[in-house]
Amino acid sequence: MTDAADNAEKLVSIEPATGEAIWEHPIGDVDAEVAAARAAFPAWAQEPLAVRAEALRRFANTVRAHQNDFADLIARETGKPLWEALTEVEAVVNKVDISINAYSERSSQHRFEGALGAKVSLRHKPHGVLAVLGPYNFPAHLPNGHIVPALLAGNAVVFKPSEKTSATGMVLTKMFHEAGIPAGVVRCVIGGVEQGKALAAHPEIDGLLFTGSARAGVSLHKQFAETPQKILALEMGGNNPIVVWDAGDTDAVATIVAQSAFLSAGQRCSNARRLIVKDGMEQKLLKPLLKIVDRMIVDHPLAKPAPFMGPVIDNIAADQLEAAYAALVAKGATVIRPLERRDPALPFLSPAILDVTDVADRPDEELFGPILQVIRVPDFDAAIAEANNTAYGLSAALIGGSPELFERFWTFVHAGVINWNKPTNGAPSNAPFGGVGLSGNHRPSAYYAADYCAYPVVSSEAEQIRGAIATGLRDWQDPNMVED
């Protein structure tokens, strides 16, 4: 007899650097996973906070014990260099203590005096079953940034990893279970777009925590407009500006720009997409920047010497980036460094730089890859205007200038992360992370994830029953009163 699982439709994970299949798994059952989480939620929610926190500390230790194998899987499945995958595993571990501290600060219990001797209590409750949709660029760290705070608050979680990095998502889920967190409390749905839509629309979830593209986020926002009782946290992308102005050390500046634009092969939502410089000063910056770009190693994630960046996630992404690059060139962009693909069968792309100053109808898109667009402006007011020339608002950075200039930049630029003399990416995990506009729905993640994983409940409490109505009642002796 043939096993039913052998006939089931399977999801296959492809290693970007080689094009080879490295993992497969049957497509999951969304209804069954949500039902399992719903059944497990009450017992988990009733556990003391200290018990849940200790369970998550065991999870951190479990991840630490498997860090090398886990990093190897992340590197192979995403294409990111092994050194970067190791930093992602470290972030997964560190998220636990950060979340415990954040919960204590953002969701702690408070008691204070109320009217007439009553006590007022402020506590927080979990929502119930929360769905988590994860991205492929940080397939462990970013969903983990939702899952850990959600579990700590007492929720059960149904997690659907990206169909492009599902092996990492499944291993992450199994490590929660290995740490002793009940299997029903963290469920993993393997599948593609169809399963993601089914999970988001499932009537038995109490909210959705999403990291992904603006297009998908906008669609979810419309969908959830008719279910205001459900929490929706959207962490989306950005068309992020990095402004270089009155900067001294051009080598250091070029290094920051290169990190901002090309780290993770440009596949971070906080990567710089637009380099804004004073007209006439661009060559002073481009010369050292091009030296760095020309030295960047683009190779297999496990190659020696270690590469700066690997491939983008797959050939579909590479094709889309090549098409977007070609469209900019066709519209009049000047090529400073071309986007090159050494093997059309694999998604390795070289870092590209274009001057798009004279492109009149530049699309306001997040080009999720190693393409940096240079825009020359006449003055700092124009630099701020250009920085804000986007519907997104995730991250921005000013490189150079004085404290007064940065204060002006901070005041007028629309973004959730605004840095000075630091890259646009690499935000600290012990601070909130999120943006405005098409970058988020005012539910910042990271340290502030505690805010959307539990809701506040206020109680007025008294040990004795007392009731009084001081105004608006007839006198007891009123002849118009009718006795029962």
Closest-CA residue to 350 (of 310, 320, 319, 313): 310
Q: pLDDT band for position 5 (50/70/90)?
A: very low
pLDDT confidence band for 284 (50 / 70 / 90) = very high
Reported confidence tier of residue 3, pLDDT bands at 50, 70, 90? very low
Mean pLDDT calculated for residue range 459-482: 82
Counted residue by residue, the chain has a size of 484
DSSP percent split of the chain into helix, strand, coil, nearest 5 = 40, 20, 40
Mean pLDDT of the region 146-162: 98
- Cis ω before 203 (30° cut-off from 0): no
Q: How far apart are CA 224 and CA 219, in angstroms?
A: 9
With cut-offs at 50, 70 and 90, classify the pLDDT of residue 51.
Answer: very high
Query: What pLDDT does 484 receive?
Result: 56
Structure tokens at 283: 């060559």
Model confidence at 475, in pLDDT bands (50, 70, 90)?
confident
pLDDT tens digits along 407-449:
999 999 999 999 999 999 988 889 999 999 999 999 999 999 9
Task: Summarize the confidence of residues 453-475 as an average pLDDT.
Answer: 89
Collapsing DSSP to helix, strand or coil, 419 comes out as strand
Q: Would you state the pLDDT for residue 463?
A: 83
Using CA atoms, how far apart are residues 290 and 277, in angstroms rounded to an integer? Answer: 15
Instruction: List the 352-355 sheet strands across, edge first.
Output: 334-337, 352-355, 371-377, 272-278, 240-244, 395-399, 417-420
269 is catalytic: yes
- Known catalytic residue: 461? no
pLDDT, one tens digit per residue, over 325-353 is 999 999 999 999 999 999 999 999 999 99
Average pLDDT over residues 371-392: 98
Q: How far from 61 is each of 175, 179, 185, 212, CA to CA, in Å?
A: 10, 8, 19, 28
Q: Using pLDDT thresholds of 50, 70 and 90, give the confidence band for residue 474.
A: confident
CA–CA dist 375, 386 (Å, integer): 8
The model's confidence at residue 483, banded by pLDDT at 50, 70 and 90, is: low
Average pLDDT over residues 62-86: 98
Query: Mean pLDDT in the chain?
Result: 95
What is the predicted pLDDT for the residue at 1? 30
For residues 1-5, average pLDDT: 34
Strands (E), 178-328: 186-188, 207-211, 231-235, 240-244, 272-278
Contact 42, 129 (CB under 8 A): no
What local confidence, expressed as pLDDT, does residue 8 receive?
60
- The pLDDT of 273-282, averaged and rounded, is 97
Please pick, among 33, 269, 282, 366, the residue that the annotation labels catalytic. Answer: 269
Least confident of 228-237, 414-423, 454-463: 454-463
First to last CA, the chain: 77
Indicate the range of 43-57, 106-120, 211-225, 280-294 predicted with least confidence. Answer: 106-120
- DSSP conformation letters of 90-104: HHHHHHHHHHHHHHH
Q: Which of 6-20, 91-105, 269-283 has the lowest mean pLDDT?
A: 6-20
Question: Does the pLDDT of residue 114 top 80, yes or no?
Answer: no
Nearest-CA neighbor of 118 among 467, 472, 470?
A: 467
The mean per-residue pLDDT over the stretch 442-470 comes to 92
Tokens of 340: 């090159």
| Structure confidence at residue 4 as a pLDDT band (50, 70, 90) | very low
* pTM (two decimals): 0.95
What pLDDT is recorded for position 341? 98
Span 8-35, mean pLDDT?
Answer: 96
H or E element in which residue 11 lies:
strand 10-14
Asked if the model's pLDDT at residue 117 lies above 80, the reply is: no
- Cα dist from 266 to 185, 340, 452, 459, whole Å: 34, 14, 29, 48
Looking at residue 113, its pLDDT comes to: 83
| Banded pLDDT at 6 (limits 50, 70, 90) | very low
Residue 298 has pLDDT above 70, yes or no: yes
Q: What is the pLDDT of residues 162-181, one digit of tens each?
A: 999 999 999 999 999 999 99
Instruction: Sketch out the chain's domains with CATH numbers.
Output: 9-236+440-461 (3.40.605.10), 240-433 (3.40.309.10)
> Which one from 15, 84, 235, 282 is the annotated catalytic residue?
235
Tell me if 202 sits within 8 A of 131, measured CB to CB. Answer: yes
